[in-house]
Structure 1
Amino acid sequence: MNLSFSHKTFNTQFKIYKGKTMSVRPLTDEQLKEQAPVLFTEQPHFETSDKYHFVSSIDVINEIKSHNWHPVSVQQSSVKDEDKDGYQRHVVRFRHFEDLLNPKENAVELLLFNSHDRSTAFSISAGIYRFVCSNGLVIADSVFESYKIKHIGDRANDIHTAIDKITSFKPQLEYKINKFEALKLSTGEREAFAKSSIALRFPEHLEVDYKDLLVPHRDEDNKDDLYTTLNIIQENLLSGNVSGVNKETGRRFTSREITSIGKDKEINQGLWDIAERISSIKEPEMALAA
């Protein structure tokens, strides 16, 4: 697929990719505060112990920005307990300056996960953003282990080490995407991928047709490679609207969109792990073909 943009200047607020509008300018502090006020919380939840060492998310964001990674999206969890509002789980996605300046079909991202109520470990992970469908993948820990940032010790050094690790891993991840795109899957292999992914989203008593997970939502996804298959299944699992039957009650249901930060990450990492296993099985075939 070829990139087609209306302009090539970094200062342009939006660009068009295959008819989709995407922001190419980092989020400002004002935008971050509007979309996720929790980032600017200045103290931990009152139920945390005295041993809990608070680290401000906005301080970490500013530290990451100083290493040429810029925030492009943010999400904070909804809360049932109003006392937790302002302390809940949140995630910020960063993109490197080079990828903002020269966007490609897939961008390696840095993801910051945190909370101020001990519900989420403070960590930095690797991810991928796919422009054609606005999918945000999260790399499985088996490939890139999330770097846990401790709430103690030399905070700046911890963050610097994590950023260095992901920055150095970026070329390897881009190579892996290309390898996944080169791996063609048979119909049976694509179906096996879909079947293996069902448990990531649906418990045993909810029965769905695995074929529904392989239905593409755009012409660009009418392909049979591993990477496209991964993204099709991911989009169907996360966006919802998959119909099925509750085997215990006999009632039909339609899945809803996944909005939980934790569940989104779990499904993404699980799908990437399945794709890695498929790749390891298919690689000998590629070697023989070469």
Structure 2
Amino acid sequence: MAMNILTTQQLFKIAPAIFAESPDKAVSDRYGFVPTIDVVESLQNEGWYPVRAQQTNVRNSDKRDLARHMIRFRQDPDRQMAVGDSIPELVLTNSHDRSSAYQLDLGLFRLACSNGMVTPAGDLGNIRVRHGKNVVDNIIEGSLQLAGEIPHISESVDDFQSTLISSEEAYLFARAALSLRYGEEWQAQSPISPESLLQARRNEDKEPSLWKTFNRVQENMMKGGVLGRSNNGRNTRTRAIKSVSEEVRLNRALWQLTEEFSKLKHHHPKQSMKKIYAA
């Protein structure tokens, strides 16, 4: 598969905060400012190339260069390790307004739906690097640590693919996902039902595996466009997740939910998920 590497001009157009030359004026003198583009270039020198970028929209134009932003990196195709039907990525997030440190996560890009995920890397989780003198070196070190977790993520995907779940269990999965998105009062807040969240966008995603169930829910939640009803009873469609922090948060939470379902299925193979959750 050909890889479309983003050029410097494309990065600037999509996420200008990557090129910020100074932090928020309110930060202290102890804040060690390092432009995100320096990190991008260093990762590229290590063989990780930027393939997607975005930043959170802000109303105040003066804050545009400080907004939280995200860049996804992928290795050269000759070095890529296949993870099921997906490709591993590094996901870098940052902001220059003190709201977040540099953060590096493992991600997966599913070829069938051109959809990106964020996966907690086992016990390692994610790499957080505070702004300071050694930002670049620490992130490069973190990228090596995360790359070492790719085989474990691949094992998880294989497990999810081989784990079959019933329609009742898929419903419980979608219901739990809606609570992650809208909170405990999701039934009052969500414009869509669990059944709507489970809709498949392609025939091959209809199979009853945990992996495909996760993919249907994740894609519908992230990309939006699912038909539902607003609180006043009008037909509406859900919106795509545009916030960088919310995208990362939800992706992590959905992955952890999938891991929990898998563990429950293996520990209680003859017991329905409904009974487990009721216990």
* TM-score bracket relative to the smaller structure: 0.7 to 0.9
1:115-164: per-residue Cα shift (whole Å, max 9, x none)?
A: 11122321111111101001111113765411111212423331122011
Deviation, 1:182, is 1.0
Matched, 1:82 2:61: yes
Q: Determine the C-alpha separation between the residues in 2 that align with 1:168 and 1:103.
A: 14
- Is the contact between residue 122 and residue 149 of structure 2 (CA under 8 Å) also seen in structure 1? no
Output the amino acid matched with 2:246: K
In structure 1, the partner of 2:214 is: 230
Instruction: Rate the CA distance shift 1:99–1:148 in 2: closer, same or farther, 3 A.
Output: farther
Number of equivalenced pairs: 265
Matched, 1:70 2:70: no
Q: Which runs of 5+ in 1 are unaligned?
A: 1-14, 16-22
Output the amino acid matched with 1:213: L
Deviation, 1:100, is 7.1
Match of 1:164 among 111, 120, 144: 144
In structure 1, the partner of 2:204 is: 220
Write the mapping of 1:1-290 to structure 2, written as runs, cut at 5 A: 24-98=3-77, 105-140=85-120, 144-203=124-183, 204=185, 205-207=188-190, 208-244=192-228, 253-284=236-267
Q: Determine the C-alpha separation between the residues in 2 that align with 1:241 and 1:218.
A: 15
Q: SS in structure 2 opposite 1:85?
A: helix
Deviation, 1:176, is 1.4
Q: SS in structure 2 opposite 1:109?
A: strand
Q: Determine the C-alpha separation between the residues in 1 that align with 2:90 and 2:153.
A: 12
In structure 2, the partner of 1:10 is: none
1:196-233: per-residue Cα shift (whole Å, max 9, x none)?
A: 11112224232432111111011121111111110100
Aligned-residue identity in percent = 32
- Is the contact between residue 108 and residue 174 of structure 1 (CA under 8 Å) also seen in structure 2? no
- Is the contact between residue 126 and residue 144 of structure 1 (CA under 8 Å) also seen in structure 2? no
Q: Determine the C-alpha separation between the residues in 2 that align with 1:62 and 1:276.
A: 34
Deviation, 1:245, is 5.1
Of 234-243 and 83-92, the range deviating more from structure 2: 234-243
Q: Determine the C-alpha separation between the residues in 1 that align with 2:208 and 2:124.
A: 26
Deviation, 1:67, is 1.6
Q: Determine the C-alpha separation between the residues in 2 that align with 1:277 and 1:143.
A: 15
Output the amino acid matched with 1:39: I
- Is the contact between residue 32 and residue 133 of structure 2 (CA under 8 Å) also seen in structure 1? no
Deviation, 1:86, is 1.2
- Is the contact between residue 220 and residue 226 of structure 2 (CA under 8 Å) also seen in structure 1? yes
Q: SS in structure 2 opposite 1:70?
A: strand
Q: Determine the C-alpha separation between the residues in 1 that align with 2:196 and 2:168.
A: 15
- Is the contact between residue 102 and residue 129 of structure 2 (CA under 8 Å) also seen in structure 1? yes
Of 95-104 and 210-219, the range deviating more from structure 2: 95-104
Q: SS in structure 1 opposite 2:66?
A: coil
Instruction: Rate the CA distance shift 1:53–1:89 in 2: closer, same or farther, 3 A.
Output: same
- Is the contact between residue 81 and residue 88 of structure 2 (CA under 8 Å) also seen in structure 1? no
Report the TM-score when normalising by structure 1: 0.83
1:13-38: per-residue Cα shift (whole Å, max 9, x none)?
A: xx5xxxxxxx6132222221222222
